[in-house]
Amino acid sequence: MKSDRSVHSEAGALAGVVPSVNLAAEPGRMDFYERARSCNLAPLWRVLHGLVTDQPAPRCVPALWRYAETRPYLMEACKLISAEEAERRVMVLENPGLPGESRITQSLFAGLQIILPGEVAPAHKHTASALRFIIEGHGAYTAVAGERTMMEPGDFVITPSMSWHDHGNEGDAPMIWLDGLDMHIVNLLCASFREGYPGRVHPLQRPEGSAAAEAGHNLLPVDTEYASQTSPIFNYPYRRTREALDQLARIRAADAWHAYKMKYINPVTGGWAMPTMSTWMQFIPAGFTTASYRSTDSAVFTVVEGSGSSRIGGEAFDWGPHDIFVAPSWVPHQHTASSDAVIFIYSDRVVQEKLDFWREHKAQP
């Protein structure tokens, strides 16, 4: 027979139980539950409403990483370990609601990578796709599937699933970027593979600029077949993104919820640039406050230019250039720009759309 205390703690663990379950009758069912457990059986009625929640119940919480606070840790890491020894010298942005899980949201990874002049991050490939959003520095390249691209602040660079990639810094200052990866989605589905390249770097197979020449001008070579679901453009340069937002802001009024927000697209399909992570760049003019918005995709925001503040749920976060913050699934958020602000955003929206899950709600301004 169970002690009173264990019966009480059992009842306490029943948060999420079906409301019609008579808790007073539960002690009389314990023997059945225990025998069932020995046969790897469990009663659904004790867990049902925790499994199927009325609305999103993210463990991920609103959070902000100030660049002034994170950058010194990146510099210190450089004194402790080389890019080569680390394979990738990355400090993981861990959501405070998900400590030790290498998650910035429940589905997404974020980290800040630093590479010093002369260093190489050796070639490897994996099932997970990666995006790089360049924060600081000049003169570093990434090579993807045999083609190099030089990275500049504000550039959005893609490493598709299972493509060889290495990075190198040929400049004279540290280079820092944000890495966004989908490995938690890959791992949920138990589909992860990884391989290291036998050499330090993968051989170059195409001249720099090939991808941009083929796919970067709203034109595609007539007979090329594109089998991948990832955009053939693997560097979306900031200069052109910024110009696009500038032009949009000249010809139309700001949207109440998004101000000016443009999505990065795959020119082959017109859809999102990556199959597992949606990406956008947003421009919020000085003095503008966006109306409260929520959607089922948790999103990661990286400030490129300007400063302002965001309300995310009940919390307020002030931000400036290179700060990174998170709005969890279904938590209402709104932004106020105190100077012209440009923000890079990524989320798992594209996955949710493909699975018919995605929802949004726009509060009336």
Separate counts of helices (H) and strands (E) for the chain: 9, 22
**Integer Cα distance of 152 and 173 in angstroms:** 13
- Residue entry with tokens 């010809």: 251
| 243 within 8 A of 286, measured Cβ to Cβ | no
Q: How far is the CB of 48 from ligand 1HN (least distance, A)?
A: 35
Q: Which is nearer to ligand 1HN, 179 or 340 (CB)?
A: 179
CB 139 within 8 A of CB 171: yes
Largest CA distance in the chain: 77
Give me the phi and psi of 260, to 5 degrees please: -120, 115
Question: Cα–Cα distance between 183 and 202 in angstroms, integer?
Answer: 22
Enter the tokens of residue 297.
Answer: 């995709």
Q: For residues 88 and 354, which CB has a smaller minimum distance to ligand 1HN in the complex?
A: 88
Residue 24 CB, nearest approach to ligand 1HN (Å): 49
Using the minimum distance from each CB to ligand 1HN, give the nearer residue, 66 or 88: 88
Please say which residue, 178 or 327, places its beta carbon nearer to ligand 1HN.
178
Min dist. Cβ of residue 100 to ligand 1HN (A):
15
CB of 125 to ligand 1HN, least distance (A): 9
Least distance in angstroms from the C-beta of 170 to ligand 1HN: 16
Q: Which is nearer to ligand 1HN, 125 or 333 (CB)?
A: 125
Placement of tokens 């290498």 in the chain: 102
Shortest Cβ 228–ligand 1HN spacing (Å): 18
Q: How many CA atoms lie within 13 A of 344 on its CB side?
A: 28
Q: What is the dihedral of CA 293, 325, 109, 82, to 10 degrees?
A: 160
Distances (CA, A) of 33 to 24, 41, 45, 181, 241: 15, 8, 11, 40, 59
Contact footprint for ligand 1HN (CB under 6 A): 88, 90, 109, 111, 113, 121, 130, 165, 167, 179, 181, 183
Residue with Cβ nearer ligand 1HN (89 or 349): 89
- CB-wise, 90 or 277, nearer to ligand 1HN? 90
Residue 269 beta carbon to ligand 1HN: minimum distance, rounded to whole angstroms? 25
Per-residue burial over 246-257, b = 16 or more CB atoms within 10 Å of its CB, e = otherwise: eeebeeeebebb
